[in-house]
Amino acid sequence: MNRGQRAKLFIPGPTHVHDEVLRTMSEYPIGHRSEEFSELFDEIVQGIRKTLFTDSRVYLGTCSATGLMEAAVRNTVTRRCANFICGAFSKRWHEITRSCGIPCDPFEVDPGCSIKPETVRNALESNRYDTITIVHNETSTGVANPLEEIAETAHHFDDVLLLVDMVSSMASVKVEVDKLGIDVALASVQKGWALPPGFALCSVSERAFDASSRVSNKGYYFDFRVMDEFARKSQTPTTPSIPHMYALRTQLRRIFDEGLENRFRRHNLMAERVRQWARKNFRLFAEKGFESDTVTCIDNTRKFEVSDLLARLLEKGYLISGGYGPLKERTFRIAHMGDIQLTEIDELLDAIDETIEEIER
Ligand code: PLP
């Protein structure tokens, strides 16, 4: 592939962006206190609510997901937070919580394993915590945590708030936020939403919003009360990335054209296809029964250099990911999220087969 040509993205963010979405980002800006802006804001918020199956508050952030991870803990923890860790991104949330000066404890399982409801129950039985953080889809290991069971367990404990990072599952996997009683569900847009990076969004429950009024020193930019004051006027507190909002509106319309259930099914089919291929040729890194529908992490049992595979595939116009952090050479990851289609997955898998044959020849 020559410099300047675009490789198709099969990495777990940023993901492939459709041309129609890209084009809308170059629309002429509008004033963020105008009526036209409020119409844009309202359409986006309604679309997000529909996608997340929620009637609760929705806030938009001109930031990546990490900003809203910080916002979530800063607005809600009044006593102590339990951070459940099963990989790099759930560990990051613990680091974020700690670095905000919020009392917290890590509960960690081995990479590749999921968080079990029993682990959550044991932690909450100590009565020390009023908030827990969970990463729904641990992008570093390809593990999908059992969110429904975890939520059910957490709700046995009154007043424990459930904060969920849905960064690499939102808009790809069905999660019914209100039914599960998720207090904060957050994501950035460069993964399942399939937009360029630089924007994020979250839903906030009544309980989480109430907690926010009891917490002090949460800063200004990410204060839920401030965000809400402006959201009531269909605005954001500060100047947002309007190009992202145009793109999100276009993408929401495209998502509803496809149909939410069709979209979720497509992701499951793509994941099944990749898993089948990976089981035949390698081994899945994720614990059986907890494999993600948006990113597959493959144990490199054939012991070739992952960096060699990545470089050769890039030459052919495909970008996949190596392992994350300490798993860099041990695993590689294929993302099947956002606007990627099953035919493109088949094309990619053929290219990987051909490349591995070259490597092992
Ligand atoms: N959480 C998960 C599960 C992720 O996969 C990522 C990024 O890959 C993040 C959090 C951080 O997101 P961002 O880079 O948008 O801040």
Distance 66 CA to ligand 1 centre (A): 7
Minimum-distance ligand 1 atom for the alpha carbon of 66: 16
Pocket test for ligand 1, best of 9, 63, 66 (most atoms within 8 A of CB): 66
Minimum-distance ligand 1 atom for the alpha carbon of 190: 15
pLDDT at res. 5: 80
Distance 36 CA to ligand 1 centre (A): 31
Residue 74 C-beta-side C-alpha neighbours within 13 Å: 21
User: Tens place of pLDDT for every residue, the chain, 361 residues?
Assistant: 766 688 999 999 999 999 999 999 999 999 999 999 999 999 999 999 999 999 999 999 999 999 999 999 999 999 999 999 999 999 999 999 999 999 999 999 999 999 999 999 999 999 999 999 999 999 999 999 999 999 999 999 989 999 999 999 999 999 999 999 999 999 999 999 999 999 999 999 999 999 999 999 999 999 999 999 999 999 999 999 999 999 999 999 999 999 999 999 999 999 999 999 999 999 999 999 999 999 999 999 999 999 999 999 999 999 999 999 999 989 999 999 999 999 999 999 999 999 999 999 9
pLDDT at res. 58: 98
Which residues surround ligand 1 with Cβ inside 6 Å?
A: 13, 64-66, 89, 135, 139, 165, 167-168, 188
Question: Of 80, 91, 79, nearest to 115 (Cα)?
Answer: 91
pLDDT at res. 183: 98
pLDDT at res. 4: 67
Distance 357 CA to ligand 1 centre (A): 33
Pocket test for ligand 1, best of 167, 175, 193 (most atoms within 8 A of CB): 167
pLDDT at res. 3: 65
